[in-house]
Structure 1
Amino acid sequence: MNTQQFDVIKNGKGFIAALDQSGGSTPKALKLYGVSEDTYSTEEEMFDLVHEMRTRIITAPAFNSESILGAILFEQTMERKIESQFTADYLWEQKGVVPFLKIDKGLAEEEDGVQLMKPNPDLKDLLKRANGYNIFGTKMRSVIKEANPEGIKKVVDQQFVVAMEVINAGLVPIIEPEVDIHSADKEQIETLLNTEILSHLGNLGKEDYVILKLTIPTLNNFYKELIEHPNVVRVVALSGGYSREEAIQKLAANEGLIASFSRALSEGLSADQTDEDFNATLEESIKGIYAASIT
C-alpha cells in the first residue's frame, strides 16, 4: 500500500470523483455528454469516445488535488493513456489524485429485495493487473431496494468476502452497497445496513482497511459510527440519482461524509462546449461538491 496515497484519502480535504461508467452505463453517460449512439458503431469506438470525455475531465485545470482526493476508473480507462502516461500514473504524478479501479462485473437479477454482484471469476488476475498499473484501491457495487434482512445480509457478506480478497492483494476496497433512493423503506434499510456493516467491521484485523460508499442517509449524520470506526479510512457518498444541487444539499448536512459523485460531477458538461466553457462548468461543479464534502 502506498502510505502517501493512504494519507491523502484518510486525511485530505476534498472528494472522490467517480469516472467508472462501464460498458452498460457508457452509452447513457455519452448521451448526457451530447454524444448520441449513432456517432459510434462498435464498442471500441464507444470506449474511445468515453476515454476522450474522461481525458477532458481529468486534464481540466480544476481537476486537481486541491479539491479531488481520488478518482475511480473503469478497467478500460486504467489500460489507456493520458498524455503518454497510463491513466493511474497521470492522475497521481501530474494531478496528485489517488487512482481507484471499479472491479465488479455488474449486478445480478433482483432477489430478496437486493441485487448482488455478478460472479467475478477473473478477480485475482484483475487485482494483479491493478497492482501493475499502480492502482491504490478498488470499488464494487451492489444495490438494496427493500428492507429485507436476509437480502441485506447477503449483500454485506458478499461485499466483505470480496473486500478481503482486495485487502490480501495489497489494495484498499471501496465497499458500495447502494440503497435505492426511491425505496419506500429507505430509512429502515439504512438501519439494517448500518448494523450489518458494523458487525463485519468488528471481524476485521487491525490493519484491514476499507472505504465505504453509501447512499446519503435519510437521517442526517446517521453513519457517524461508521465514519469514526478505526478500520474505515473514509465514508463517501454516491449521488444515487439526485440532481447535483439536491445531492450537494443533502451531503452538506452530514458531517464527515464526503462525495464520490459520478453523474452529478459531470452534469452540464457537453462535447460541443469550448474548452473555456467546459472547464468553467466543471470548475463550478467541483467547487460545489468540494464545499459540501468539507462540512
Structure 2
Amino acid sequence: MNTADMTAKIAAGHGFIAALDQSGGSTPKALKGYGIEADAYSNDTEMYALIQAMRARIITAPAFGSGKVVAAILFERTMDSEIDGKPTPTVLHDRGVVPFIKIDKGLQDEVNGVQMMKPMPELDALLARAAKLGMFGTKERSVINFANREGIAAIVKQQFEVGQQVLSHGLVPILEPETNIKSAERAQCDEILTDELHKALDAMSGDAKVMLKLSLPAHAGQYDALVAHPRVLKVVALSGGYNRHDACAELAKNKGMIASFSRALLEDLRFQMTDAEFDAALAEAIDEIYAASTVKSADAA
C-alpha cells in the first residue's frame, strides 16, 4: 500500500484499528491476561519475545486479514521485529493493514489534573526510522483526570506540538488525550477537551490532517463536530477499561467513530488455546468490534 491508499483506507473507516502497542510497563499485565504468568520469563528479553509471539499469532490469524481490521498500532520493538522472516510492517502491508507506531515514552506525574507525556529527545530519529520502514503514522498518549481547563489546554498544546513534529516526517499522528472514564468530572472533561481541540485544529497551518484517539464520551455525540472537522482524518475510540461488550455498546452510539481497542480486543485470547480456538475467539472479537465501528445504533446522536 502506498500513502494515498493508506490515507483512503483510514478516511473510509470501514473497520477498526487494533492497538497492539503494549510497552514495557504494561507488557507483564498483557501477558498475564494472555495466560502467561511472570514466572514464565526471567528477563526483559524473554518477556518481549513472548509478547512478540502473541502479536505475531494475532497478526497472522485468518480473521486479522479479513479486511475488518484497517490498521494496527505497534510498539517500537514490534515495528523493528520480524514475523516469519519479514519485517512486521511489511507483513501488515501484505495483509492490507495500515501500520502505526506508539511514540510516547510514558506519563509524567499529575499536574493540574492531567498527566503530560514524558520528554522524547530521540523522537526525530525514531520517526525517520518509522518512515523508512513504511509506517503510516504514530500514536501518542496523555491522560486527563480532572476538569481543569489549564491542564487540559496544556495537554492539547503538547499533543499538537508533537503532532507537528510527526507531520514534518511525512507521517500522520494519532493524538490521544485520554479522558479517565472513572473520573467524577468525566463529562466536564469531555466538554473542555472538545473545546480545546477545536481551537487547536482551527489554528493549524497548512492543509495536513491529524487523527484523534479519544475516550468513549460520557454523552453520545459529544465528538460529532470533531469527526466532521476538515483537519481531522478520523476519530477513533479507546476502550479505556470497558470490557468489549460495553465498549462496543458505547461506541455504536457515536457516529463516525471507529474503535482502536487493545484490552477489549484481546480479553478472550489465551496462550493455552489451540490455534483453532484462538482463531475463533479472535474472529468473534473482531466481528463484534467491527460491527460497533461500522453499524451505529438508533441512539446515536
Under TM normalisation by the shorter chain, which class is it?
A: over 0.9
Aligned twin of 1:156:
156
CA–CA distance in 1 between the matches of 2:270 and 2:179? 29
Q: SS at the partner of 1:63?
A: helix
Aligned residues between the structures: 294
CA–CA distance in 2 between the matches of 1:29 and 1:151? 30
Q: What are the Cα deviations for residues 171-207 of structure 1, in whole angstroms up to 9, with x where unaligned?
A: 0000000000100000000000000000000111342
CA–CA distance in 2 between the matches of 1:92 and 1:231? 25
Aligned twin of 1:122:
122
TM-score by length of 2: 0.96
CA–CA distance in 2 between the matches of 1:256 and 1:143? 23
The residue type paired with residue 132 of structure 1 is: K
The residue type paired with residue 220 of structure 1 is: A
Aligned twin of 2:144:
144
The residue type paired with residue 276 of structure 2 is: E
CA–CA distance in 2 between the matches of 1:109 and 1:206? 34
Residue 248, structure 1, aligned to residue 260, structure 2: no
CA–CA distance in 2 between the matches of 1:12 and 1:231? 16
TM-score by length of 1: 0.98
CA–CA distance in 2 between the matches of 1:128 and 1:98? 18
Q: What are the Cα deviations for residues 49-86 of structure 1, in whole angstroms up to 9, with x where unaligned?
A: 00000000000000025201100000000000012111
Aligned twin of 1:85:
86
CA–CA distance in 1 between the matches of 2:67 and 2:126? 30
Aligned twin of 1:24:
25
CA–CA distance in 2 between the matches of 1:31 and 1:289? 23
Kindly report which structure 2 residues correspond to 1:59-78, keeping only aligned pairs within 5 A, or say none: 59-64=60-65, 66-78=67-79
The residue type paired with residue 168 of structure 1 is: S
CA–CA distance in 2 between the matches of 1:11 and 1:246? 24
Aligned-pair identity (%):
52
CA–CA distance in 1 between the matches of 2:262 and 2:246? 14
**Gapped regions of structure 1 (runs ≥ 5):** none
Q: What is the CA distance between 1:12 and its match in structure 2?
A: 3.7
Instruction: Give yes or no for contact 1:116–1:155 (8 Å, CA) kept in 2.
Output: yes
Instruction: Give yes or no for contact 1:206–1:231 (8 Å, CA) kept in 2.
Output: no
Residue 257, structure 1, aligned to residue 252, structure 2: no
Aligned twin of 1:47:
48
Aligned twin of 2:101:
101
Aligned twin of 2:176:
176
Q: SS at the partner of 1:62?
A: helix
CA–CA distance in 2 between the matches of 1:227 and 1:88? 28
CA–CA distance in 1 between the matches of 2:67 and 2:253? 22
The residue type paired with residue 194 of structure 1 is: T
**Gapped regions of structure 2 (runs ≥ 5):** 297-301
Q: SS at the partner of 1:264?
A: helix
CA–CA distance in 1 between the matches of 2:39 and 2:132? 36
Root-mean-square deviation over aligned CA pairs: 0.8
Kindly report which structure 2 residues correspond to 1:4-19, keeping only aligned pairs within 5 A, or say none: 4-19=5-20
The residue type paired with residue 35 of structure 2 is: G
Q: SS at the partner of 2:234?
A: strand
CA–CA distance in 2 between the matches of 1:119 and 1:235? 25
Q: What are the Cα deviations for residues 255-292 of structure 1, in whole angstroms up to 9, with x where unaligned?
A: 11110000000011000000000000000000000000
The residue type paired with residue 129 of structure 1 is: R
The residue type paired with residue 29 of structure 2 is: K
Greater mean alpha carbon deviation, residues 283-292 or residues 4-13: 4-13
Instruction: Give yes or no for contact 1:65–1:97 (8 Å, CA) kept in 2.
Output: no
